[in-house]
Amino acid sequence: MIFAQRFARFVEGSLRLVLQGNGLYWAWIAFLLALIGSGVAAYAAQVGAGLALTSMRDPVSWGFYIGNFTFLVGVAAAAVVLVIPAYVYDWKPIREIVIIGELLAVSAIVMCMLFVMVDIGQPLRFWHLIPPWGHLNLPSSILAWDSVVLNAYLVVNFVVVTHILYRAFCRRHYEKRLVVPLVLLSIPMAVGIHTVTAFLYNGLAARPYWNSSILAPQFLASAFCSGPAILLVVLQLLRRFTRFEIQDQAIWKIAELMAYAMFLNLFLHGVEAFKEYYSDTEHLLYTQYWFQGLGEHRTLVPYAWTAVALNLAAFFLFILPAARRNPLTLNLGCLATYSGCYIEKGMGLIIPGFTPDTLGEIYRYAPSITELRVAAGVFAVGFLVFTLMLRVAVPISLGEFQDEEGSLVTGTAPAIA
Amino acid sequence: MKHLPVMNQAADPGESACSRRQFASIAAAAAAGFLLTACGPRRLREMPKARLRQALDEMEREYAAKRGMAVQVADTPPMPDVLFGYALDLSRCIGCRRCVYACVEENNLSRDPQLHWIRVLQMEKEKGVDFRHADPYYAPAEVPEEGHFYVPVACQQCRNAPCVKTCPTGATWMEPDGIVVIDYDWCIGCRCCMAACPYGARHFNWAEPRIPAGELNPATHYLGNRPRPNGVVEKCTFCIQRVRKGRYPACVEVCPVGARKFGNLLDKDSEIRYIIENKRVLVLKQELNTLPKFFYFYAT
């Protein structure tokens, strides 16, 4: 009974927090809602007419949606990588922001699932993937595995985050026996979701561009660049707009880790390019399509070199201590990392994998307006979820949003993570 | 010989208006279908025989109401001791695409948007079987063209099929007679199988498939040429509706030069066994270990 009352107060208080804000907050929410509205309208048209409204066709049967899905799995995985220094080395400055990373992971997984939903041809049959009603083709189907690990990862992060926050709301310390094992579990799971997602492509012998054992490590390397890039921006915004304190040390440390990840990412790409170009087999075709184009088909070439340039720029900005400590160059580095990895893992991974197709046809794919609108809508849903969760989580962390009638009042604001 | 175009002009939509009576029968069918599927196994693959027949009767009623004509959905089972195999004589094929269109008509493929299960590739004799130099859109005045040969490609009915392996819901599988089939009512349209197929054999319904009135082939099989919905994958089934009744696939029958051979791989005296044992035979992309049951050979 006490629990029910307290939970009701928690829900009510959360709603109040979410519904109050300044003009900037409401402008942001309105912007997201507008994008969602446009996305829903575009998706409704797509459901009515079929995926013909996208630019995907038989030769390029996955496109923008699945590219975004892949990228966001990386973001979800990388958000939790912050947990490693925080818990393994017990490094205080990062430990305090772990919860933000976990909220980002939850939002990213929500977006991943939406991207899969908008991509499938029969969305009403999604329950076919859910046993016992459906049938999950385990162990052989990698997509079946992926749906298992992504859901498990979502549950683990959601449980950890809500438990910590709710306990803080109740002015109690979180349950160590629950949180520590789950947090430790989320580290291998973070690596796991991205590895399984890489295997989705990696295991297809029909597509030589993906059928390379370097794919999973390279996925992880690029994810450990792009995930923290978003987090760094979010942390600075939080620091600016709330009383949330984030030490410079934490931000600099993350930027430094990103430099190493970016080095690894560039190195692995270089290794792959060497193997393809030096051995010069018929499998070179796909890499050539990405970096050089094939004959008059050069649609992706500018994207390829833009991604390389952005990734190189990000590496140098983060490896130089002076540059990563300067707010301007730090944020430029984040932007470069985010866009570089986004290009390379969206269009750069999916499209050359399909071009030329298995029978040698070159189909020039570029996302349609429907795809762009639906994708923007999905991103807006993710950002909305993230914003609303932060809206509640930050005041709780700051000790501003707590249960008045709670027992067990401690002297100081309870630790968050 | 004159060849057929790679794609036709868009056909007229063949939808007929839905009367009240038709609507009532569709509604009744939907209700019965819901009850039927609400309990017990839902995949056609694991349905007991009696239940399966009931489900197919529902399909027949649904198609009849929608198309305004009688449609049979057969459940002809695989024959014992039969493993189907196909062989195509590359030295004979002239690239006329008769097989492509016979397949479209026999298997109720969408006319608009146009969908083909067979793709004929024109290749250069100098380069041999090389997909990098294949042209599916060849359109000379007459075929065959000097210096070229033709490789028709459809589902290779792999024994080690990558598509079956990747399907997350188990909506595609290999039947005991070796035909890889799809449950169109269970496929979620994720297209993993299309990414996995090394032969471009799987095709997706990007829009509602359309077949003009009167052009629907009413003799269908539940795992083959019955009408498909939007948003699912389909492919060649060796004309399962014909071959399980002892007939040849439509492409074999129509081929004007006799380049296409079909038979039972387990029958020592069959033509297909003779070809495999005595001719120069190849399979496409052998290095991928997909173990196709579709063979290419040179008879001369």
- Chain segment A147-183, per-residue pLDDT in tens: 999 999 999 999 998 998 899 899 888 888 888 888 8
pLDDT for residue A87 is more than 70: no
pLDDT at B158: 98
| Range 105-134 of A in CB contact (< 8 A) with B | 116, 119-122, 125-126, 128-129, 133-134
Under DSSP, is residue A257 helix (H, G, I), strand (E, B) or coil? helix
pLDDT at A407: 46
Percent of chain A with pLDDT over 90: 73
Between B172 and A85, name the one with better pLDDT. Answer: B172
Q: Which of B135, B112, B111 is nearest to B124 (CA)?
A: B135
**Distance (Å) of CA A253 to CA A238, A334, B7:** 18, 14, 59
Nearest CB to A358: which of B166, B198, B233? B198
pLDDT tier at B40, thresholds 50, 70, 90: low
pLDDT for residue B7 is more than 90: no
Put simply, the answer to whether A143 touches B153 (Cβ < 8 Å) is: no
Q: What single-letter DSSP state applies at residue B114? A: B
| Range 25-64 of B in CB contact (< 8 A) with A | 42-43
pLDDT tier at A30, thresholds 50, 70, 90: very high
Q: Which of B239, B204, B199, B195 is nearest to B106 (CA)?
A: B239
The pLDDT tens digits of the residues spanning A231-282 come to 899 989 988 888 888 888 888 988 999 999 999 999 999 999 999 999 999 9
Q: Cis omega (within 30 of 0) on the bond before B168?
A: no
Buried b / exposed e along A13-50 (16+ C-beta atoms within 10 A)? bbeebeeeeeeeeeeebeebeebbebbeebbeebbeeb
Three-state SS string across A292-305, please? CCECCECCCHHHHH
Between B27 and A169, name the one with better pLDDT. Answer: A169
Between A176 and B215, name the one with better pLDDT. Answer: B215
CA of B159 to nearest chain A CA: how many angstroms apart?
A: 15
Q: Which two tokens stand for residue B178?
A: 């070796």
Put simply, the answer to whether A143 touches B166 (Cβ < 8 Å) is: yes
Give the alpha-carbon dihedral of A104, A106, A111, A115, to 10 degrees: 140
The pLDDT tens digits of the residues spanning A368-403 come to 999 999 999 999 999 999 999 999 999 998 888 888
Q: Which of B185, B281, B275 is nearest to B231 (CA)?
A: B185
Compute the distance between CA of residue B92 and CA of residue B300 in angstroms, rounded to an integer: 8
**Distance (Å) of CA A304 to CA A364, B6, B91:** 15, 33, 42
Put simply, the answer to whether B203 touches A285 (Cβ < 8 Å) is: no
pLDDT at B1: 75
Compute the distance between CA of residue A329 and CA of residue A314 in angstroms, rounded to an integer: 9
pLDDT for residue B16 is more than 90: no
pLDDT at A84: 67
CA of A47 to nearest chain B CA: how many angstroms apart?
A: 9
* Residue whose entry in the numeric block shows the structure tokens 């291998």: A188
Put simply, the answer to whether A120 touches B188 (Cβ < 8 Å) is: yes
For residues A350 and A62, is the Cβ–Cβ distance under 8 A? yes
Q: Which two tokens stand for residue A178?
A: 């629950």
Kindly state the helix (H) or strand (E) to which residue A176 belongs, with its residue range: helix A176-202
The pLDDT tens digits of the residues spanning B122-143 come to 999 999 999 999 999 999 999 9
Put simply, the answer to whether B232 touches A122 (Cβ < 8 Å) is: yes
pLDDT at B27: 75
Q: Which of A125, A124, A149 is nearest to A135 (CA)?
A: A125
Q: What single-letter DSSP state applies at residue B142? A: S
Q: Which of A138, A134, A72, A85 is nearest to A386 (CA)?
A: A72
Compute the distance between CA of residue B98 and CA of residue B38 in angstroms, rounded to an integer: 44
Q: In terms of CA atoms, which chain A residue is nearest residue B170?
A: A137
Q: Answer whether A281 touches B (CB < 8 Å).
A: no
CA of B246 to nearest chain A CA: how many angstroms apart?
A: 32
CB < 8 Å to A143, chain B = 166, 168, 190, 192
Compute the distance between CA of residue A395 and CA of residue A8 in angstroms, rounded to an integer: 18
The pLDDT tens digits of the residues spanning A89-131 come to 666 666 667 788 889 999 999 999 999 999 999 999 999 999 8
Q: How many CB pairs under 8 A join A and B?
A: 141
For residues B250 and B106, is the Cβ–Cβ distance under 8 A? yes
| Range 323-362 of A in CB contact (< 8 A) with B | 353-354, 356-361
CATH: 3.40.50.300, 3.30.70.20, 3.90.78.10, 3.40.50.2030. Which one for B73-300? 3.30.70.20
Provide the 10 A C-beta neighbour count for residue B160. Answer: 12
Helix A284-291 and helix A248-279, axial crossing angle in degrees, nearest 10 = 130
CA of A102 to nearest chain B CA: how many angstroms apart?
A: 28
For residues A381 and A114, is the Cβ–Cβ distance under 8 A? yes
Biggest alpha carbon distance in chain B? 62
Compute the distance between CA of residue B121 and CA of residue A358 in angstroms, rounded to an integer: 12
Put simply, the answer to whether A61 touches B194 (Cβ < 8 Å) is: yes
pLDDT tier at B12, thresholds 50, 70, 90: very low
CA of A303 to nearest chain B CA: how many angstroms apart?
A: 23
Domains of chain A, with CATH numbers?
27-397 (1.20.1630.10)
